[in-house]
Amino acid sequence: MRKIATLLVISSFSSLTAMEVPQPSIRIEVIDRTILPGSQRIFEKEFGKETFGTTQKRIANRPSVVCLHALLEDAEQGHQVVGFLIYEKDYMNHACISHVAVDENHRRKKIGTALMSFLEKTSGCIGIKVQAVQQALPFYERFGFQKSTFNMLYKPVKK
């Protein structure tokens, strides 16, 4: 497990910040090819145990896969994984999102927004692609993604 970067996120739950954040705060950690145990619980609930096993094997051998983990910092309980985003850089320097999920007890708190913003600002990619299920389309459209083919969405990254 190799940690690449850490950034404190979500001050007023609207934008990335490295300033002092109110409790509880969310921290995004970037870890190469590793799904943290807390993310595993969320992953299995959202996508199933079989999908988790397949995904874990696939990403373990691919150096271009990056896992972002949203950690809730709590003075009493330490940190707890409340969301994750997994993407892979393709040969054309696009970030291709494979999985995004937020713990159901922490939804509607801009954690998904923090993960997407972190990806866009730190990936170094020229664009972001995702193939999304119908019910997830509004989430991605809020970030400026546009349909390019059947449920495939694309967003160029502004530098």
Three-class SS state of 124: coil
The pTM assigned to this predicted structure is 0.77
pLDDT digits (tens, 9 = 90+) for 12-66: 223 333 333 344 677 888 876 677 777 888 888 888 888 887 888 888 888 788 8
Q: How far is CA 88 from the centre of its chain?
A: 11
CATH number for the domain spanning 92: value is 3.40.630.30
Contacts of 37 (CB under 8 A, 6+ apart): 81
In this structure, are strands 78-89 and 152-156 parallel, antiparallel, or unpaired? unpaired
Question: Domain total for the chain?
Answer: 1
24, HSE (Cβ side, Cα atoms, 13 Å): 18
Residue range of the domain that includes 49: 3-156
If pLDDT is split at 50, 70 and 90, which confidence band does 1 have?
Answer: very low
Question: Which pLDDT belongs to residue 123?
Answer: 87
